[in-house]
Amino acid sequence: MNDKNKQPIGPEECAMSGKIDYEELRKLISLLEEKGLSIFELEVEGLKVKIGRNAPQPAPSAIAPPGGPAAGPAAPHESAAAAEARALAIEVAKGHHMITSPMVGTFYRAPDPASPPFVDIGDVVKKGQTLCIIEAMKLMNEIEADVDGTVVEIYGENAKPVEYGQKLFAILPSS
Amino acid sequence: MNDKNKQPIGPEECAMSGKIDYEELRKLISLLEEKGLSIFELEVEGLKVKIGRNAPQPAPSAIAPPGGPAAGPAAPHESAAAAEARALAIEVAKGHHMITSPMVGTFYRAPDPASPPFVDIGDVVKKGQTLCIIEAMKLMNEIEADVDGTVVEIYGENAKPVEYGQKLFAILPSS
Amino acid sequence: MISKILIANRGEIALRIVRSARELGIKTVAVYSEADRQALHVLLADERVCIGPAKASESYLNIANILSAVDITRADAIHPGYGFLAENAKFAEICQAHGLIFIGPPPSIIRLMGDKNKARQTMKKAGLPILPGSDTVIEDLAIAKKIAAKIGFPVIIKAAAGGGGKGMRICRSSSQLEDQFPIAQGEAKAAFNDPSLYIEKYVSGARHIEIQIVGDRKGKVIAFGERECSVQRKYQKLIEETPSPFIDEKTRRKMMKEVEDAASKVGYQSLGTFEFLVDENRKFYFMEANARVQVEHPITEMVYGINLIKAQIRIASGEKFGFPFELVMRGHAIECRINAEDPATFVPSPGKIDFLVLPGGEGIRVDSAAYGGWVVPPDYDSLVAKIIAYAPNRDLAIRKMRAALEMTTIVGIKTNIPLHLDILSNTDFLAGRYNTQFMDGHMAAKAAEETL
Amino acid sequence: MISKILIANRGEIALRIVRSARELGIKTVAVYSEADRQALHVLLADERVCIGPAKASESYLNIANILSAVDITRADAIHPGYGFLAENAKFAEICQAHGLIFIGPPPSIIRLMGDKNKARQTMKKAGLPILPGSDTVIEDLAIAKKIAAKIGFPVIIKAAAGGGGKGMRICRSSSQLEDQFPIAQGEAKAAFNDPSLYIEKYVSGARHIEIQIVGDRKGKVIAFGERECSVQRKYQKLIEETPSPFIDEKTRRKMMKEVEDAASKVGYQSLGTFEFLVDENRKFYFMEANARVQVEHPITEMVYGINLIKAQIRIASGEKFGFPFELVMRGHAIECRINAEDPATFVPSPGKIDFLVLPGGEGIRVDSAAYGGWVVPPDYDSLVAKIIAYAPNRDLAIRKMRAALEMTTIVGIKTNIPLHLDILSNTDFLAGRYNTQFMDGHMAAKAAEETL
């Protein structure tokens, strides 16, 4: 890539033209790795790059519900967990800041059923501002924003249980 | 790589022209390895690079002797088998024709202890010519060449047991 | 006496023999086909010899190569397992002529039991009740019709050399017999190279009950409490249990006593199984005897606290043997045969097992040569694991089996675990109300249910 | 009575509880740390809740999160397994206050047994022999010296709140006592936040023998035949067997009877284990009682044909319970604890299990939450499997265990299987001649041998 062509390299893009040197390729491959991509193809002005990685994920995540599809207990969690991890990675890649549950309990979006929710998608929040309540052991725990920013996603469902580490909110920090 | 720069192409090398030279390529391959990539293709202004790595070996062939290194029965056979399969593939790739044992028995290179071996490395053999004897069930079974060619390798050891499918001779067919 | 056993078999039974031999301090040689290079019994035996390509006739049935493998490994005994050469009297004879100890009954016994009609007649003389039928093999339809008329329809025609349901036909009338007789002859000829048939009274609603025996070299025979094997599909057993929920103590004692007497009369040695049909009034009729270890032998081991393979090896080696505990049935054992097959269509499902979690813990025994990463070859039978649940009573054993199967995880191939779970929840099965027609009825009911 | 059990534990014991609950028709909830997301008990339980990060203090010991998990899953009982919160009397109390059934002894019993000195004194009053020693906890060296002089050297100092060898010191003279007392105090303070010590007579060459009990809610206590647990390294048990090759029937009866009497006197309920030192003359001295299920409980299950976890759950649920067979020891059972550790250096070896073949077949039981592809986390204890061999007698059980271990294949992590095989071939072990010093001697002998 020439200097005059310098462009920001976004998560899944890579603008370039003409020649490519080792350093650029190294960066590309690192990006690939970082983003967990399995294949990358680029073709621009006579330049064509194709990079592939072995798909990871071995057996454990392939656990099927024991006893076949119909019978037996479901073991859905690990695949859910894997999906969650993947989703989280994407969110983080987007520059979102995640608020996860620091405890096990019941998630409430409002201080009481009659009140409006603490926050909604699109709201600008300040660090320290209450986002929700998690009830655990009969205690109401206020969960606060730990950054300034905008709420871009709300994952918890009102009055539903949440476990430790479960995503509650995505916030796009104001920079 | 320019014509004047022509270098021998080893298993992991690749002649090319344009902006990437051998050193760069070597680095690329290391990178590929380091990052666990399985495929890499690059095409730019007459330059075309495609590098692939074999996926690593899966579990079964990684069976270790049970009970740890010292104790327990050895389970060497499968790794031996894998090695054998690999060796066989290499031989076949070289254009060698393999004579394998069609039965289980004891391998003899000569009709009796006093006689010279039927064949030796370097001997030219004709189709139908006796190469060795395999004794099974007290019967002496003559094993014949099934191609014309030159004996390039003898695997069986005289008076030692051979199993079904075991390599006995490699013959380079005369073309 | 025996120092090295060559195991002329594969799969779980080969591994079972490796384990038992190892406990006895005896070395083992695995012989294997090219399809079984990565098989667990091959990897875990002390030595191993490839004896041929995947096709059984060229490897596991290849007597010349098996005996050559004996020669090059200097094994002094052969264990034939079940299937393959296990009931081949000629093979047993060749082994003996070769100076080898054949771990099984004498060739004469194998030969007798291999001729189903002769076995029936011999056992009748030795005191076992048999169903009314032809005393000799029948090659002619006219004679078949005469005999059928005498014993009364329904009748069943069977191949004299038979097994596994091949050449077997139920006939409810003379015209059916006319139709079926030549078909059965053809099947028997194709399957066993012997078109001889025999006829007997067909008992509907009967149970398949069998008695395990062990005979020593002094003519003493011990019989064990019955195994109930009526859960079958196309004469293939699926679930076995002991004791049978149907057999009472009086019938059990009677069966055991009569089998012991008859088996000693014919000089039975080593392991064997006497199979009976038992009618709704608990009258039992000898059907055939299998001169080998049976797939379902573990359930007998569980309720008696014994090891039949070790006993079999020790008898063959001429050792004095005995069982350490008083031979009393205690508790209840069930075995489920886990096959690599579609649970609905029964189509075999060979292939790579990507991920495997077998059950374990209190009361669970697993006999299996499967492992995560293993490729189930398409060349042989589809049994991948025998799961055995043992508990103080039938209800607890069924619950334990269900829990074990629900927690068994096999990814990569289809198995019949869902079918087993289905049977283990069936009201009739739970009540112990089932016979050899159970699976037909069960499958039909399920099909009807799914159509609704 | 119980419809859903939350299992406040992990690993093989969590899976063991899932299995037993499933047999009883009870649902289970697994709670897990982030390090155990792919753990088998998590995958096989009916429901699962993540309760914190890998660090045990923030997950498996996090009472608030565990009780919140109870709330959101509406579990009505908690099984604490062993370790973690199993012997935390306060946790048991909180569970009860929360309206939950705690599957274990009452908090008062847990509290009593948790105070080792108090337990000793109480059991002495209840009729169990204890070693001469201090009647109360000692905080002062001068008093320690006076008591030591009275009972005579060697003496052993122990942490009152102790366990696992922490704060334990053997002193052979007054000057050693002077040196060791403050060190032991420091260790006890560090490990249990309680520097209280007590002193007792030290018996060299003693065996560690324990008696399993089950107490119902009506005050009836049943004791089972002893478990021999003398094969220990740094107070960590490695191999356990039952019956002990050392204990005779008279001593067994006496121990069982005295434990039953003493345990009923203090109102013991649920499972428990009374640990004894037994000297060379088969005199036994109560050491401590563990108010929980023990790692080595399966060997008792094997020789009695029972399921202690099911019994424990049924007692907790207030059900009438009984054992189906006559409670007679039959045969011999051995357990080997397979740890993910270097067999020579004992350094833990966590990591991915690339390939796994566990043993199986007749007489083998495996209690393990390991599977091929699982990553053994570095955060918890290194137990990956308990392999239990059951046979009619000790010699056969040892042979069976050796065969099973030789055929166990674990690739990817190091395990102590070679060490077990070594012990199982040791002449003294084979002769049943071993005590709690066995491993020290064994390791020293091996080291010497390797130096030659």
For C108, the token pair is 């004469």
Interface test with D, best of A88, A103, A104 (most D CBs within 10 A): A104
Residue C52: both structure tokens together: 């041929």
Place of tokens 């051979």: B162
- Domain-located, residue C72: yes
Any idea what the CATH number is for the domain that residue C163 is in? 3.30.1490.20
A131, amino acid identity: L
* Chain D residue with Cα closest to C42: D407
- Examine residue C154 and say whether the peptide bond preceding it is cis (omega within 30 degrees of 0): yes
Which residue spans within D344-414 are E strands per DSSP? 351-352, 355-357, 364-367, 375-376, 383-391, 409-411
Nearest-by-Cβ selection for D406 from B64, B69, B71 = B71
pLDDT at C397: 98
Q: Which residues contact D221 (CB under 8 A, 6 or more apart)?
A: D213, D214, D215, D259, D260, D263, D264, D268
In the block, residue with structure tokens 């002998």: D445
Residue C232 is assigned to a structural domain of this protein: yes
Q: What is the DSSP letter of C235?
A: T
Domain presence at residue C56: yes
What are residue A105's DSSP bridge partners?
A162
- For residues C165 and C239, membership in a common domain is answered with no
Summarised one tens digit per residue, pLDDT across range C401-446 is 999 999 999 999 999 999 999 999 999 999 999 999 999 888 778 7
Say yes or no: B114 contacts chain A, CB-CB below 8 A.
no
Within this chain, do residues D137 and D98 fall inside the same structural domain, yes or no?
Answer: no
Share of chain C above pLDDT 90, in %: 83
Average the pLDDT over B47-51 and give the result.
Answer: 53
Asked if residue D445 and residue D385 are part of one domain, the reply reads: yes
**pTM, whole model, 2 decimals?**
0.84
Three-state secondary structure readout of C403-427? HHHHCCEEECCCCCHHHHHHHCCCH
CATH of the domain at C445: 3.30.470.20
> How much is the pLDDT for B82?
58
Write the pLDDT tens digit of every residue in C191-205.
888 888 889 899 988
Say which residue the tokens 């025994």 belong to. C365
What does the block give as tokens for C258? 């009569």
Q: Answer yes or no: do C44 and B106 touch at CB < 8 A.
A: no
User: Mind telling me how many Å the CA of C33 is from chain B's nearest CA?
Assistant: 9
Structural domain span for residue C364: 207-451
Read off the CATH number of the domain in which C29 is found: 3.40.50.20
Interface size, chain A vs chain B, as Cβ–Cβ contacts under 8 Å: 60
Looking at C61, C84, C103, the residue that finishes a domain is C103
By C-alpha distance, which of D442, D441, D440 is closest to D421?
Answer: D442
| pLDDT score recorded for residue B42 | 59
Instruction: Return the pLDDT at A70.
Output: 31
Residues of chain A with Cβ-Cβ distance to D373 below 8 Å are 58-60
Span C230-281, pLDDT tens digits: 999 988 999 999 999 999 999 999 999 999 999 999 999 999 999 999 999 9
pLDDT at D448: 77
Reading the block at residue C304, the tokens are 């008696």
- Tell me if chain A has a CB within 8 Å of the CB of D54: no
Question: Are B72 and D405 within 8 A, CB to CB?
Answer: yes
Whether D43 sits inside 8 A of A77 (CB atoms) is yes
pLDDT value at residue C161 = 80
Chain A closest-CA separation from residue D308 CA (Å): 24
In sequence order, the β-bridge partners of residue A125 are A149
Tokens of C169: 């036909």
Question: How far is the C-alpha of D88 from the C-alpha of D84, rounded, in Å?
Answer: 8
Yes or no: say if A65 and A97 are a contact pair by the CB < 8 Å rule: no
Per-residue model confidence (pLDDT) at position A156:
86
CB-CB under 8 Å, C421 with A71: yes
Options C10, C292, C365, C394, the catalytic residue: C292
Q: Choose among D343, D354, D417: nearest Cβ to B59.
A: D354
Domains of chain C: total: 3
Question: Does residue C368 fall inside a structural domain?
Answer: yes
Q: Which of D63, D85, D103 is the last residue of a domain?
A: D103
- Contact status of B157 with chain C (Cβ, < 8 Å): no
What residue of D is the nearest CA neighbor of A62? D373
* SS3 of C177-229: HHHHHHHHHHHHHHHHCCCCEEEEECCCCCEEEEEEEEECCCCCEEECCCEEE
Identify which of C354, C408, C411 has the shortest CB distance to residue A67.
C408
Is C429 within 8 Å of C441 (Cβ atoms)?
A: no
Neighbouring residues of B8: CB distance < 8 A, sequence distance ≥ 6: none
- Please list the active-site residues of D: 292
Residues C274-332: pLDDT tens digits? 999 999 999 999 999 999 999 999 999 999 999 999 999 999 998 877 787 789 999 99
- pLDDT tens, B12-29? 333 333 444 555 555 665
Å from C91 to nearest chain D CA? 28
Which of residues 19 through 78 in chain B touch D, CB cutoff 8 A? Answer: 59-60, 62-64, 66-73, 75
Tell whether D71 lies on the interface with A, counting CB pairs under 8 A: yes
Does any CB of chain B come closer than 8 Å to the CB of residue A49? yes
Single out the residue of C112, C334, C371, C145 nearest to residue C240, CA to CA.
Answer: C334
Which residues does chain C have within 8 Å of residue B164's beta carbon, measured at their own beta carbons?
34, 49-53, 59, 65
Residues of chain D with pLDDT under 70: 163-165, 451-452
With a CB cutoff of 8 Å and minimum separation 6, the contacts of A19 are A1, A2, A47, B18, B19, B44, B45
B26 touches chain A (CB under 8 A): no
The minimal CB distance from A104 to the residues D44, D45, D72 is found for D72
C259 and C138 both lie in a single domain: no
Nearest to D119 by CA among D255, D263, D257, D279: D263
Q: Are D430 and D373 within 8 A, CB to CB?
A: no
Do C155 and C85 lie in one domain? The reply is: no
Helix (H) or strand (E) holding D208: strand D207-215
Q: Hey, how many other C-beta atoms are within 10 angstroms of the C-beta on C352? A: 15
Whole-number Å distance between alpha carbons of A163 and C347: 43
The three-state (H, E, C) secondary structure of chain A, written as one string: CCHHHCCCCCCCCCCCCCCCCHHHHHHHHHHHHHCCCCEEEEEECCEEEEEEECCCCCHHHHCCCCCCCCCCCCCCHHHHHHHHHHHHHHHHHCCCEEEECCCCEEEECCCCCCCCCCCCCCCEECCCCEEEEEEECCEEEEEECCCCEEEEEECCCCCEEECCCCEEEEEEECC
- Tell me what pLDDT residue D287 has: 94
Q: How far apart are CA C189 and CA C167, in angstroms?
A: 9
β-bridge mates for residue D329, sequence order: none
User: What's the start-to-end Cα distance of chain A, in Å?
Assistant: 29
**Residue in B59, B137, B161 nearest the CB of C64:** B137
- Contact predicate A136/A103, CB 8 Å: yes
Of the CA atoms within 13 Å of residue C374, those in its CB half-sphere come to: 27
Q: Would you say residue C118 lies in a domain?
A: no
- Give B62's contacts in chain D (Cβ within 8 Å): 354-355, 411
Nearest to B45 by CA among A42, A28, A52, A20: A20
Average pLDDT over residues C94-116: 95
Where among C201, C218, C243 does a domain terminate? C201
Distance of CA C289 to the CA centre of its chain: 10
Tokens found for residue D422: 């070594």
Chain D residues close to A77, C-beta within 8 Å: 37, 42-43, 48
Nearest CA distance, D348 vs chain B (angstrom): 16
Helix, strand or coil, per DSSP, at residue B13: coil
Which of C20, C24, C362 is closest, CB to CB, to D298?
C362
If asked whether residues D214 and D196 sit together in one domain, one would say no
- Cβ atoms of C185 and C197 closer than 8 Å: yes
pLDDT at B38: 56
Contacts of B48 (CB under 8 A, 6+ apart): B16, B41, B42
What is the per-residue burial (b if ≥16 Cβ within 10 Å, else e) of D332-365? Answer: bbbbbbbbbbbbeebebbbeebbbbbbbbbbbbb
The low-confidence residues of chain A, meaning pLDDT below 70, are 1-93
D269 within 8 A of D109, measured Cβ to Cβ: yes
The CA-CA-CA angle for residues D80, D83, D85, to 5°, reads 50
Mapped onto helix, strand or coil, the DSSP state of residue B152 is strand
Pick A103's closest partner by Cβ from D64, D371, D374.
Answer: D64
Closest-CA residue of B relative to C48 is: B77
- What pLDDT is stored for residue C195 in this prediction? 87
Q: Per the CB < 8 Å rule, is C407 touching D18?
A: yes
Mean pLDDT value across chain B: 68
Q: Do D372 and A161 touch (CB under 8 A)?
A: no
The whole-number pLDDT of residue D333 equals: 98
Residues D197 and D265 in one domain: no
Neighbouring subunits of A (3+ Cβ pairs under 8 A): B, C, D
In angstroms, what separates the C-alpha of C357 from chain A's closest C-alpha? Answer: 9
Long-range CB contact pairs, C81-85, < 8 A, 24+: C81/C7, C81/C8, C81/C9, C81/C10, C81/C13, C81/C14, C81/C17, C81/C292, C81/C293, C82/C9, C82/C13, C82/C292, C82/C293, C82/C294, C82/C295, C83/C9, C83/C381, C84/C8, C84/C9, C84/C56, C84/C60, C85/C8, C85/C60, C85/C61
Same structural domain, D154 and D10: no
CB-CB neighbours of B23 under 10 Å:
9
Chain A contact for B28 (CB, 8 A cutoff): yes
D381 in A contact zone (CB under 8 Å): no
The answer, yes or no, to whether residue B60 has pLDDT greater than 90, is no
Q: Among residues 338-377 of chain C, which lie with CB inside 8 Å of chain D?
A: 355-368, 371-373
Q: Say whether both D186 and D211 belong to one domain.
A: no
Indicate if D319 and D254 belong to the same structural domain.
Answer: yes
| Subunits adjacent to chain D (3 or more Cβ pairs under 8 Å) | A, B, C
> C405 in a domain, yes or no?
yes
Continuous segment of H or E residues that includes residue C364? strand C364-367
Nearest chain B residue to C33 by CA: give it: B164
Average pLDDT over residues C368-374: 96
Q: How far is D354 from chain A (nearest CA, A)?
A: 10
Nearest to D292 by CA among D77, D84, D14, D87: D87
- Min Cα distance B64 → chain C (Å) is 10
User: Residue D211 in 3-state DSSP?
Assistant: strand
In a domain, D119, yes or no: no
Residues of chain A with C-beta less than 8 angstroms from the C-beta of C372 = 59
Tokens found for residue D361? 């077949």
C-contacting residues in D 408-427 (Cβ below 8 Å): 409
* Other residues' Cβ atoms within 10 Å of the Cβ of residue A39: 12
Query: In this complex, which of A59, A64, A66 lies closest to C407 when CB atoms are compared?
Result: A66
Residue A71 and residue C415: Cβ atoms within 8 Å?
A: no
From chain C, the residues in CB contact with A75 under 8 A are 409
Structure token digits, residue C312? 């079999």
Residues of D in contact with A59 (CB under 8 A): 372-373
Q: What angle do CA D32, D34, D37 make, to 5 degrees?
A: 70
What's the pLDDT score for residue B53? 46
Say yes or no: C137 and C245 in one domain.
Answer: no
Instruction: Give pLDDT tens digits for D120-160.
Output: 999 999 999 999 988 888 888 999 999 999 999 999 998 88
Q: Is residue B58 scored above 60 in pLDDT?
A: no
Q: Are residues D261 and D389 in the same domain?
A: yes
Any domain includes C156? yes
- Contact status, residue D237 vs residue D229, Cβ threshold 8 Å: yes
